Structure 1
Amino acid sequence: MPEQRSRPRDSRVIALANQKGGTGKTTTTVNLGIGLARLGKKVLLIDADPQGDLTTCLGWQDQDSLQTTLATVMGKIIRDEPFTADEGILHHSEGVDLMPANIELSDLEATLVNAMSREITLRTYVNEAKKNYDVVLIDCMPSLGMITINALAAADSVIIPVQAHYLPAKGMTQLIKNITRVKKRINPALKVDGVLLTLVDGRTNLARQTAEILRQTYGNVLKIYRSEIPVAIKAAETSAAGKSIYAYDKGSKAAQAYAEFSKEVLADGEKQRAKLQSSLSR
């Protein structure tokens, strides 16, 4: 009887990106990733920021003591050395895996400038790693340097977290232009999944007006997620605790909002998969 092979995972690779800092991008990566894990998905989080905020948020405070990080693996790829998809992976108690980062990634970014396949080094790693996961989330740094370009080149799609109390019209336009540029030149399949409103203070007119203007300005060309993430002190405290909002303050509005957002992202993925299967069967 011939050996039966398991069907390869139909993985999604999503970059969370915004050139502006302070949008709740890393907090969203943590709580979306763990939210998807709570819904039964196997999830890998990749810290693609030399500051290592994602690594810190998941409880690894002493990043410099880590023997293997994203910079280690990408360095091997640049030097054409063998690597394994699971080397350096850290396991979090809430059911997600992490490829960590530290300041060494900043040095590697300078090295990438002269590398032969400088835009697709991270893609080489992700293409191997994603075979073991249903979803890979990449937390991008708040700039469009070589590491962020690598993240966009490796991703299937992008989620853009945006502050509800600051209308980022100019920044959003520039970000979309940069995503479009990567799509044209490096990654033709790249698309924007949607825009997530974060740090929403429903008590203020400014937050409501910002949300409405964002929907009016971009709603016809971009999906604006129904879920909105409220301002929450507890959500900010989770990074020091190394936990998700679900473990730290499970009954909070922020925990409920992230849970709903995770369901929304999962449902979108199922729709995309069904659409792809339908087109392939024609």
Structure 2
Amino acid sequence: MDDTPIARAAQLAVEALGRAGEGLPRPEQTRVIVVANQKGGVGKTTTTVNLAASLAMHGARVLVIDLDPQGNASTALGIDHHAEVPSIYDVLVESKPLADVVQPVRDVEGLFCAPATIDLAGAEIELVSLVARESRLQRAIQSYDQPLDYILIDCPPSLGLLTVNALVAGVEVLIPIQCEYYALEGLGQLLRNVELVRGHLNPQLHVSTILLTMYDARTRLAAQVAQEVRSHFGEEVLRTAIPRSVRVSEAPSYGQTVLTYDPGSTGALSYFEAAREIAQRGGPHVSHGGRQGSTYQYGGTTSKGMQ
């Protein structure tokens, strides 16, 4: 009777949640991870908030910086972000200290958020005329004196000044890639921008992690995309892929991550395991060789890699 799909899923949930309480190795210094992909709808915000919650539940102190004017990460973490709330806009444009805008996340101990408000929509234009416009977030983070293990920066689906600020402030780039048709389209431009920022503004920056999202094991296309991504990015790709999950989609409407909304769901368990992998890697996982000029092709679609 115990060898049923429900029983096996329940057992996996118990094991994963048990591991969550074990804690993970703490990084020697704060890991600043930029979650970026200019393609919309690939799970950037979902990945940011759920990885952050997973790491915090493992005992880490984690800050999420919401750089998307839509403020979806703030919503998912249950953080108020109407126009009057002090936000990351004030940090970037008004030079307000980061500590003045950071709020604790109610449901997860050790998790904090610097929210975005609609004011951030105009920040791209306002930053143009400011001194050191590309490094304002970096300076704010360097001045933040609270102890943190991880900072995760949720970027907008574009490659403008907000994303450049994130890339200058970060050390690692995490790219969520959906296991669907056209998944790799436009990825080459993001990788080129990472190289440009690394060459001119932030020599430490590199792509450390690729996370496969929206994986549907029932489709041959998902398996094909996953195989292509793994063959071209190698060790940067996490072993854990995030499956399509109704619970993951539902959670933000309740102002929660899937970890608190339904901790036994497949989505929650997958994010727990992805966070475990990231923590156990212990820091930047550099591999710049063998990527130059790569071309990804599947299903009749071709997408350029790093140039």
Q: CA deviation at 1:190?
A: 0.3
Mapping 1:162-173, distance limit 5 Å: 162-173=177-188
1:124-163 superposed Cα distances (whole Å, 9 cap, x missing partner): 1111226521110000001000010000000011000010
Match of 2:240 among 227, 230, 243: 227
TM-score (norm 2): 0.80
Q: Partners in 2 of 1:130 and 1:31 — Cα distance?
A: 24
Mapping 1:121-160, distance limit 5 Å: 121-129=136-144, 131-160=146-175
Match of 2:89 among 55, 66, 71: 71
Instruction: Count how many residue pairs are aligned between Structure 1 and Structure 2.
Output: 257
Q: Partners in 1 of 2:125 and 2:272 — Cα distance?
A: 38
What amino acid sits opposite 2:201 in the alignment?
A: I
Q: Please tell me whether residue 90 in structure 1 is matched to residue 119 in structure 2.
A: no
1:193–1:46 CA distance, 2 compared to 1 (3 A): same
What amino acid sits opposite 2:93 in the alignment?
A: G
Equivalent residue number for residue 76 of structure 2: 57
1:24-72 superposed Cα distances (whole Å, 9 cap, x missing partner): 1101111100111011111100000111111111123652242x00011
1:157–1:270 CA distance, 2 compared to 1 (3 A): closer
Equivalent residue number for residue 27 of structure 1: 46
1:218-254 superposed Cα distances (whole Å, 9 cap, x missing partner): 32xx611101000001101111111121211111111
TM-score (norm 1): 0.86
Mapping 1:1-282, distance limit 5 Å: 10-60=29-79, 63-66=82-85, 68-77=86-95, 83-93=96-106, 94-95=108-109, 96-129=111-144, 131-219=146-234, 223-269=236-282
CA contact (8 A) 2:176 2:211 kept: yes
Unmatched runs of 5 consecutive residues or more in structure 1? 1-8, 78-82, 273-282
Q: Partners in 2 of 1:18 and 1:153 — Cα distance?
A: 15
Equivalent residue number for residue 4 of structure 1: none
**Helix, strand or coil at the partner of 1:196:** strand
1:64–1:135 CA distance, 2 compared to 1 (3 A): same
Q: Percent identity?
A: 38
Q: Partners in 1 of 2:283 and 2:67 — Cα distance?
A: 26
